[in-house]
Chains A and B, each alone.
Chain A
Amino acid sequence: MIGEEILSVDDLTVHFSAGVTVTDRLFGKKPRVNRAVDGVDLVLKKGEVLGLVGESGSGKSTLARCIVGIYPPTSGVIRYGGEQLDTNRTRAQRTAIQMVFQDPYSSLNPLMSVEQTLSEILKYHKLVPRNKVHERCRELMYLVGLPERALEQRPRQFSGGQRQRIGIARTLALEPSVLIADEPTSALDVSIQANIINLLTDLQGTLGLSMIFVSHNMGVVRQISDRIAVMYRGCIVETNETQSLFDEPAHAYTKLLLAAVPRLITSKTGSAGEESIQR
């Protein structure tokens, strides 16, 4: 059930400047500015999955990380639950918006067991009383489809798909209401991706999460999203309901993107590559 607006982004920009030393600054040389996110407006409704698609350099990952609070915005406003988020968020604001990362091989501390990773968060944020921590860890494992004995193992004993589940469990430990998934399946094998997509869909449904799903894979995005926003060079060029976007793309870039996606040819007469992309 999709409710009203829970997260909104208003004219957000994130600029990175690089390439100047102290001596250059003394001479007044201007730094190179990378306009990763250049004026983005976005709305996320409660219980909705918003797909954020774009190619490399579009700024989608930067936007996602800025919303989560990793990068501070250069200008613009992010609002959660109607309240503006400052650079220093309150603890409640911080835990409400959480991220699932892309690389399962670097998103877990290799020296800590699963239970240590989860319980550290539970204890620090006092999310459950001390004597209930172990039980909560078990619950989290159950939620992501891993057995209890996974708790005592270390990341290197798991495969990519399993590590990704553990990463999701860690994110859920904070009981967020908004989940930002930054290409969570891109580093996984094809046959494992479906597992994670199904898992995220199930969790989103049962826990009533609102999700922004960042990806460059149009098929995955279509499967999971209610609405889709298309990003190109730091701006959002089109936003629409999933079905409408695919049926009637409005912006030229969206059309280009959709035409470029490879498709399974199921009939002998369907010849490949007839919609040749302009070189």
Chain B
Amino acid sequence: MTAPVLEIRDLSVEVVLPHGLLHAVRGVSLTVAPGESVAIVGESGSGKSLTLRALLGLLSRPVRASSGTILIDGVDITDLPSKQLHRKLTDTMSMIFQDPLAALNPLMRVGDQIAEVPLRRLGKSRAQAKVIALDLMTKTGLNDPEQIYGVYPHQLSGGMRQRIGIAIALSAQPRLILADEPTTALDVTTQAQVLNVLRDLQRDEYLGLLLVSHDLAVVSETCSRLYVMYGGKVVESGPVVDLINEPKHPYTFALLRSVPDPDHRVTKLIAIEGEPPDMAQPLTGCCFAPRCPFVTEKCREQEPPLGLVANAAGDAGRRSACWHVNEAQEWAAIVSEQMGDARP
């Protein structure tokens, strides 16, 4: 079995504040196989964006990665000297950001921005770099790349800017693309187009994709595997379709029920009461306990480990951090009773 392109073990990120430490990411581990599309789903405060940024060394004081190991192609690179580490990371991975306008240099023509990496880092000549840039622009679905090449970012629409952002990410010839909520700032129709581009590229170029999002529907259409984050930790992981059909963690379960489905109307949505946890306080017990509809005393006292679970599909890769994972089948019944929910 080939080694995963990327593996993170036990990553922790903290923020140094004047009055204490904020543990934004607490011991997160994940893997991405070559050509695989993996998603991290969570809400604000779950630590998902920081996990991504920690990978490329994009954290700046007072935020810092306090522990963790990074492996690329199975080789531990955490202790490499920082220049080599940076080189190895940026050779393998590229990033797409949420706000396409902020991610582009407003004073530089978009074509030049795409050509920059081939020109400066990959040693191509100006003419070669331009050809590469035009080619990438076509790949991301921009019609008439010759004309768009000389244009400035503010002259383009949001969807086109994001395609330029994808082209820039591709110009470094990465094997894995990190995408931090790439379509959240876009309209629904534009979002569909950009997601199509990502899917096609991923399939045609055998690119890995690590997508961070809060939108389960987007994730289910784009990725094959999923990590659910809450309170700075991974609370559930596994193949996307299995997770959606049979959630094994109350947070995933509640999240799926609280998001309205454009194809069905329900009598009442499940609302998760309370608020995400205060990350500056140390956690006792399960991080979701204060808001969990199925909580018991044990949950409050002891933190459940992220353990392998069996599920109907028989997949080996399902994990969940819940003491009551064996009672998952009953959750739907219990809640339906309470809510009069028509959905199975």
Contacts and interface: CB of A to CB of B under 8 A. Distances in A.
Contacts of B221: 262-263, 265, 272-273
B170 to A, nearest CB: 17
Interface stretch (B85-93, B129-137, B209-217): B209-217
A98 B283 CA distance: 42
Contacts of A193: 258-259
A263 B217 contact: yes
A183 B276 CA distance: 22
B193 interface: yes
Interface in A243-279: 246, 256-268, 272-273, 276-277, 279
A258 B221 CA distance: 15
Contact of B196 (A162, A264, A276): A276
A107 interface: no
Interface string B184-198: 000111111101100
A185 to B, nearest CB: 10
B187 A279 contact: no
A259 B268 CA distance: 25
B262 A246 contact: yes
Contacts of B187: 55-56, 216
Interface string B222-264: 1000000000000000001100110000000011101111110
Contacts of B215: 190, 262
Contacts of B222: 272
B241 A266 contact: yes
Interface stretch (A61-69, A79-87, A115-123, A194-202): A194-202
Contacts of A55: 187-190
A218 interface: yes
A189 B276 contact: yes
B35 to A, nearest CB: 16
Contacts of A56: 187
B195 A262 contact: yes
A237 to B, nearest CB: 14
A190 B266 CA distance: 17
Nearest to B143: A279
Contact of B262 (A190, A197, A222): A222
Contacts, number: 127
Contacts of B240: 265
A257 B214 CA distance: 20
A161 interface: yes
B57 to A, nearest CB: 28
Given A189-B214, A191-B43, A265 B220 contact: yes
A242 B195 CA distance: 27
A223 interface: yes
Contact of B199 (A159, A263, A272): A272
Nearest to A57: B187
Given A191-B255, A279-B193, A216 B188 contact: yes
A270 to B, nearest CB: 8
A184 to B, nearest CB: 14
B256 A264 contact: yes
Contacts of A217: 260
Interface in A63-104: none
B272 A264 contact: no
A277 B273 contact: no
Contacts of A133: none
A258 B254 CA distance: 25
B258 A191 contact: yes
A272 to B, nearest CB: 4
Nearest to B214: A190
Contacts of A190: 43, 214-215, 255, 258-259
Given A264-B261, A265-B221, A277-B196, 4 more contacts: A198-B271, A219-B262, A259-B192, A265-B240
The 9 closest A-B pairs by CB, nearest first: A260-B192, A194-B258, A219-B260, A272-B221, A262-B217, A223-B260, A55-B187, A194-B269, A195-B271
